[in-house]
Amino acid sequence: MTSADQYLAELGQQLRVDAVRATSTAGSGHATSSMSAADLMAVLLARHLRYDFDWPDHPGNDRLILSKGHASPLLYAAFKAAGAISDEELLTFRTLGSRLEGHPTPRLPWVDVATGSLGQGLPIGAGVALAGQRLQEAESRVWVLSGDSELAEGSVWEAFEHAGYERLSSLTAILDINRLGQRGPTRHEWDLDAYRRRIAAFDWHTIEVDGHDPAAIDAAYTEAAGVTDRPTAILARTMKGRGVAAVQDREGMHGKPVPDEAEAVEELGGPRDLRVEVRRPEATTVPRSPGGPQPELPRYAVGEKVATRNAYGEALAALGAARPEVVALDGEVSDSTRSEFFAKQHPDRFFECYIAEQELVATAVGMAVRGWLPFASTFAAFFTRAHDFLRMATVSRVGLCLAGSHAGVAIGEDGPSQMGLEDLAMFRALHDSTVLYPCDANQAAQLVAEMAEETSGLRYLRTSRGADPVIYPPEERFPVGGSKVLRSSPGDRLTVVAAGVTVHEALRAADELGEEGVPVRVVDLYSVKPVDAATLREAAEQTGCLLTVEDHRHAGGLGDAVLDAFTDGRPVPRLLRLAVDSLPGSAKPDEQLRAAGIDAGAIATAVRRHLAGHGA
């Protein structure tokens, strides 16, 4: 071993020692999963990573994603070796208030995305690399350190396909094949060729390597950097718990400290304090400055019949013209979601992700990491495919805009598989999310602009398939958190709260009831989260009863959103709700609304019954 290799080996041991110390001090954490990848990390840090720890947002920085997030002690040990954190901070691992969480999150400035839900690092890394190569022509590389267990996740294979197809040569997947998952042996254990065959079939360059041989690792990283027409996967044969006999390659040692810290540290050669000077990026690219003029949004004439999905597409195209940081992505349904309008005007900023919704959202997250403002669209129903990626995006605190089309039973004949009926529940429950549901085209267009103005979190827009009449003039504004009172009189006997397609049904019902001498208020609750509690309270006080009606399941949608405005201990109005309880089949849109009991007739009936004292 050369002295240079000896240094790398020493650094690897230091990372192991620090991972052992951090987990033992914490009394929990993944020591053995850190130890298997320590040499992979040491060589990367000392020889290949280009990163300015003083300037995490440097556009020329490489990106390092620890997909096997449970090996966070290794990452933190590396940060310490790079001088980014102190030994004192290292030992705050997993304690209340520490930035060093059990799984890495962007509370640390050098962590771009939260990991810990396995199989997400590579998909997101592909997005980061795609942004770098297609949008920025950056010199920087993307390194994803992944475990072997997580290669069972389909999302990883969406990423292999995506990155291979897009020839993302800046992307290197470092696969820590330590044979042991949480429960026991993985499917393929140390059959590196099983992985190699699969990954190579997806048009990646592959390299097999002894993951504890610094020189071999160094050569593999160099080889990867030299491949210019495809991404590279480095398959590293490693041992879990490497270096400590009590745990090395043994089952039942996952996710816990080593049994004897002092013995382990001694076995690893004792503490060291090597300090790595990580190479800084040479690129001097100036970061893009986001923002721009107000978009020239499309304008629709009142009375015109336009689907909100169309307005979404047209507004997004206009937004893209005004704001150069806007990118759009779609899951091979851009002709349905209408993101194709953006694609036609801005083909260089449109990304076809095919029918792979996890990769769709992951790519959007990756682009957000690079400073872009992504709008990702597919059917509302199919965002459920990406639920875990959306959940983790909230932990990553990235800004994402999402548009789900084909809301509810109103889509008609295609039937339940294509109906978004649980999407409001999913998005409302996510942390730091905004949920918008327009009922007309001008409103939809304005809300697209509002989404771009928000500064954080997930912003979800629910659009409809069918064309409904425009009811708002193009000048009307729709702030997030607001609502519109569409019918109101001093004698209102009840308030119907609706959104999207049910606004039109509510208006029809109100007209019908008005003719019967029963005035009712109608509120368009286009902002489902946050809700306009003040308007709802006022309506409740003045009319005594709120009836919510939504093209969504009972649980988690508009009805629950309205109720949430009344959980502050003050008196609550009487409440009624109409939502989709049945399992729809195929039928025309108006038949669907009727069958689900959320059309004008059902609303009018519910109002009459309530006022007659029959309850719902």
- The footprint of a copy of itself on residues 363-422 (CB under 8 A) is 381-382, 384-385, 387-388, 391-392, 394-395, 397, 412-418, 421-422
- Nearest approach in angstroms of CB 102 to a copy of itself is 4
- Nearest approach in angstroms of CB 342 to a copy of itself is 13
Restricted to residues 419-448, the positions that interact with a copy of itself (CB under 8 A) are: 421-422, 425-426, 428-432
Choose between 110 and 300: whose C-beta lies nearer to a copy of itself: 110
- Quick check: is 357 catalytic? yes
From residue 474, give the alpha-carbon distance in Å to each of 41, 48, 316, 505, 606. 55, 54, 16, 22, 33
- CA 319-322-326 angle, 5° bins: 55
Of the candidate spans 274-282, 370-378, 402-410, 583-591, the one that interacts with a copy of itself by CB under 8 A turns out to be 583-591
Amino acid identity at 292: G
Residue 471, phi then psi, degrees to nearest 5: -115, -15
Asked if 586 touches a copy of itself (CB under 8 A), the answer is yes
Choose between 10 and 591: whose C-beta lies nearer to a copy of itself: 591
Residues 6 or more apart whose CB falls under 8 angstroms from that of 444 comprise 308, 311, 312, 315, 438, 461, 463
Q: How many CA atoms lie within 13 A of 33 on its CB side?
A: 32
Residue from 101, 267, 357, 550 carrying the catalytic annotation: 357
- Nearest approach in angstroms of CB 183 to a copy of itself is 5
Restricted to residues 536-565, the positions that interact with a copy of itself (CB under 8 A) are: 545, 553-557, 559-561, 563-564
Residues 6 or more apart whose CB falls under 8 angstroms from that of 117 comprise 69, 388, 391, 392
Choose between 52 and 432: whose C-beta lies nearer to a copy of itself: 432
* Cβ 424 vs Cβ 558: under 8 Å: yes
Choose between 217 and 602: whose C-beta lies nearer to a copy of itself: 602
Asked if 454 touches a copy of itself (CB under 8 A), the answer is no
Restricted to residues 30-69, the positions that interact with a copy of itself (CB under 8 A) are: 69
Residue window 174-193: x/- pattern of binding to a copy of itself, with contact defined by CB under 8 A: -------xxx--xx------
Residue 65, phi then psi, degrees to nearest 5: -115, 120
- Nearest approach in angstroms of CB 60 to a copy of itself is 29
Binding-site member from 2, 88, 97, 348 for a copy of itself (CB under 8 A): 97
Q: How far apart are CA 118 and CA 128, in angstroms?
A: 18
Residue window 266-305: x/- pattern of binding to a copy of itself, with contact defined by CB under 8 A: ----------------------------------------
From residue 166, give the alpha-carbon distance in Å to each of 206, 339, 349, 352, 364. 16, 20, 14, 11, 15
From residue 371, give the alpha-carbon distance in Å to each of 129, 130, 291, 398, 423. 13, 13, 11, 10, 27
Of the candidate spans 257-265, 275-283, 483-491, 580-588, the one that interacts with a copy of itself by CB under 8 A turns out to be 580-588
| The two structure tokens encoding residue 196 | 């190699």
Residue in the structure block whose two tokens are 């669209």: 377
* Cβ 110 vs Cβ 147: under 8 Å: no
Active site amino acids: 357
